[in-house]
């Protein structure tokens, strides 16, 4: 009986996940006349994928999609490049800030360390949307709105707290004797971190990089608040303009854009899943 219940829930879960994925994929390869038809498309096409990655919209598309191309760039190439730029910059910044903070919490003892740890944990569980008003006010006061580099710095609010706690657990699993031996041989603390600790923590660093890239890649909240011009829109913000008046204006290209944008983190994760799995397990041991 228990196995039957478990199987039933697994089937329901798979249906809950797979049916929307199937519908999005089916729509992405359907010609315009078959978008709302049931079943597989009779004349599958890659035209929707070609259209979203074309330097300019095909003729007639602007007339079909009222408002869409009037307010955003005509191709997904620019938002795609912007998303890559922001995500990679966020990854680099996270890999600079998080290891230093995590090593501090893992190895040093000082007054107020527990309070700092609680603050970082609180920042991790703090809802991101509550930060919208103060961050927008600070960035606007500095006249740095509509800047992709500033957007990457702001997204550290998402990526750094989790990364610090995961790397802290990883660093605590590295024997202190290795570092003490290097210090006796004349290495500075920073050189110990760079030459010994970080190479041993490579799976954890890869996990942090993948997590940071994924969070930044899918973020729509901060781009919505901080970006102003179409040439700086990231991919999630660009996709939101396919919803015009509460309805999807062009379901074929919209579905193709969803498939394309979702495949990039999936392919990245599959390529380095061994490191991610090792990093998550090791980082959870003493975190």
Q: What is the dihedral of CA 105, 109, 112, 116, to 10 degrees?
A: 0
- The whole-angstrom separation of Cα 107 and Cα 67 is 56
Provide the strand spans (E) within the chain: 243-244, 247-248
pLDDT tens for the chain, residues 1 to 287:
678 888 888 889 888 888 888 888 888 888 877 877 777 788 888 888 888 887 765 444 443 444 444 444 457 888 999 999 999 999 999 999 999 999 998 888 888 888 888 888 787 777 777 888 888 889 989 888 999 999 999 999 889 988 998 888 888 888 888 888 888 888 888 888 888 888 888 888 888 898 899 999 989 889 988 998 888 999 988 888 777 655 566 788 888 888 888 888 888 877 776 665 555 555 444 44
The pLDDT, as a whole number, for residue 248 is 62
Name which of 151, 21, 163 is nearest 103 in CA terms.
Answer: 163
Identify the structural domains of the chain with CATH numbers, from first to last: 2-71 (no CATH), 77-236+263-285 (1.10.3720.10)
The pLDDT, as a whole number, for residue 74 is 57
Name which of 160, 147, 153, 156 is nearest 226 in CA terms.
Answer: 147
- The whole-angstrom separation of Cα 132 and Cα 156 is 14
Would you call 204 helix, strand, or coil by DSSP?
Answer: helix
């Amino acid at each position: 009986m228990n196995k039957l219940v478990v199987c039933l829930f697994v089937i329901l879960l798979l249906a809950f996940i797979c049916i929307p994925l199937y519908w999005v994929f089916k729509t992405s390869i359907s010609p315009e006349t078959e978008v709302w038809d049931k079943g597989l498309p009779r004349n599958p096409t890659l035209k929707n994928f070609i259209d979203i990655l074309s330097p300019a919209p095909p003729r007639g598309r602007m007339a079909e999609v009222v408002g869409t191309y009037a307010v955003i760039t005509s191709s997904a190439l620019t938002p795609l490049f912007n998303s890559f730029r922001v995500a990679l910059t966020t990854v680099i910044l996270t890999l600079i800030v998080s290891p230093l903070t995590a090593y501090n919490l893992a190895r040093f003892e000082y007054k107020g360390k527990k309070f700092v740890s609680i603050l970082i944990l609180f920042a991790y569980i703090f809802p991101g949307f509550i930060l919208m008003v103060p961050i927008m006010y600070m960035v606007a006061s500095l006249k740095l709105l509509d800047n992709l580099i500033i957007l990457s710095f702001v997204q550290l609010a998402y990526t750094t707290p989790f990364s610090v706690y995961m790397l802290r657990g990883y660093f605590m699993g590295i024997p202190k004797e290795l570092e003490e031996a290097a210090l006796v041989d004349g290495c500075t603390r920073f050189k110990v971190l760079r030459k010994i600790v970080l190479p041993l923590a490579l799976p954890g660093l890869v996990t942090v990089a993948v997590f940071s890239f994924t969070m930044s890649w899918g973020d729509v909240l901060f781009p919505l608040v901080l970006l102003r011009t179409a040439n700086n829109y990231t991919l999630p913000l660009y996709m939101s303009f396919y919803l015009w008046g509460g309805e999807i204006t062009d379901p074929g290209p919209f579905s193709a854009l969803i498939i394309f944008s979702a495949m990039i983190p999936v392919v990245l994760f599959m390529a380095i899943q061994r490191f991610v799995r090792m990093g998550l397990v090791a980082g959870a041991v003493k975190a």
